[in-house]
Structure 1
Amino acid sequence: MAVTSMKALLESGVHFGHRTNKWDPHMKPYIFTERNGIHIIDLQQTVKLLNQAYAVVRNTVANGGIVLFVGTKRQAQETIAEEATRCGMPYVNERWMGGMLTNWSTISQRVQQLERLERMIETGELSHLTKKESLLIQREIARLRTRLSGIRSMKRLPDLLFVIDVGREDGAVHEARLLNIPIVALVDTNCDPRGVDYVIPSNDDAIRAIKLLVGKIADAVLEGKAMRKDDGLDESEEVSQKVAVPARKSVRIIDDDEEIEDEALLGTATLAKLSRPSPMDEEIEEEEIEDEELPEQVVEQFLNEAAIEAKDNDDESEEE
């Protein structure tokens, strides 16, 4: 059974792509047609690939894995925080800090610094400081909270990355690829899907579309946690257990020179993680999805709306 219906996707505007002059040719297999200068995404593929991504996330979490939610664009920030919190997973909805994955040891030290400063404030250890010094520390705490609040509970590198808008989050995608962390992402018609392991072709600008799809991924996490409890996996065993990560599907080609140069940038903890034996690949059995046929007049109605909406988010993105 499909995770969501095609009608729900249509009503949320998932099918609206960008203007045809902004498309990425590598998204051609996921495009259904073009209406009045707007690309229309093939929702039959969206339903199928969403179902596949749902299974990947569910099985990763069921095996004790961590899914990091990433979405820093204005339309996604609130939804990312709400849904990640609802399913108990870490998230990044402010600016992506370079090295958040590849230099995780330093980032974790920053989290510890934040916790230490907060304890000092609570215990009154900073009462002897001058007003200026106290103000500077308060500002530092506020800055660290803004950037690190979503990952404070993350004690190790994630096993899966869920991204909204791979074009905007290219830094997160690049670091995940270096560390061989699988990526699930909402990919619009103006983005390159080649660096993504599990593509979900979708409008990544409309708030309703983002809420629908991020909510489904959060549901997959909750279902995976329920399976984990049924299997009797204790929370304390979760960190130490080797996680079975789903097999990668996309082929990535990285020059040897590039690998050497990038590895030189990695921290000690990250290199230690890379030296571990590769986790056992887990095959995800794709559930058979019956092609859902909607009445022609319904499809025509939603397609014609593309001309009316005209993808105003393109202009908003340019202004940002």
Structure 2
Amino acid sequence: MNDIDLNLLIALDVLLEEGSVTAAAKRLNLSASAMSRTLKRLREATGDPLLVRAGRGLVPTPHASSLRDRVHELARESRSILRPRPHDLDLSTLERTFTLRTNASFVERFSVPLVNAIAEAAPRVCLRFVPKPTKAIEPLRDGQLDLEVGVIETTAPELLTRGLFQDRFVGVAGQGHALLDDAITPQRLAACRHVMASPSGEFTGPMEQALSALSLDREFGVIVPGFSDALRIARHTDRITLVPHSCLMPVRRHEDPKPLVMFELPAPIDPFTISALWHPRLGADPAHRWFRELVISTCRAAYRET
């Protein structure tokens, strides 16, 4: 036979256990005639009578007896494979490495609460942060990444997303900066010396676009790869910068000899959503579901503290 009906394997297992067409039919919710036809197909497939009449019952042939244990194990495995997987997850014994792709600012702001939350719930789980020089989706598709977090601009239709929180740009200046002495207007803001965070190294960004819309230019002199670099320069110089609100760590004034001061921007800049992104191949995995829900809830809670 070229095409084997694997349902015959289950039927053979029951027939060999019951030694009766009637009893096997009852277990499989079939009629006796349907079970008899199945036995006929099994005999044709194996080239052996399998079960033969002995008095009022059936007894296995030598070939059927030799197959009994193998058939039973294969039937048990097939039932196990096709049964819905259990969703119980023992976090205390879970050993797994989750890989999260995000930018350096996210790591600086959210890595500590994430590491603490994972260590408390699943002490054997490893968390690996990797940078994202590009937003290629192939690492999500092929399983190199478990999760990506950031601003999702465009995505493949099969990928799944959940919003973590809505972020916005704010201005930051060192304490005592002259800009803070009076009402902050677009003109006063544009007149300040700026430090810009730009991973690409280009002199473009949200504030540049907002001020350009108002026909205002601002002075550039410093451009750095990340927001933490821009904040450090703003803290120790007369330059101001713009960063996402989520980049601001909870302030402990007594530990900060020269604190930064946040101010709202006078030029309108649309808020943006930070989201988690993953591939549906991991959607039903209990461990991955736990991990992504932990990332989402922990980041939301940490952002509310900003």
Q: Give the TM interval when normalised to the shorter protein.
A: under 0.3
Higher fraction of helix: 1
TM superposition score normalised by structure 1: 0.20
Q: Which structure's residues are more often strand, by fraction? A: 2
Query: Does 1 or 2 have the higher relative contact order (CA < 8 Å, sep 6+)?
Result: 1
TM-score (norm 2): 0.21
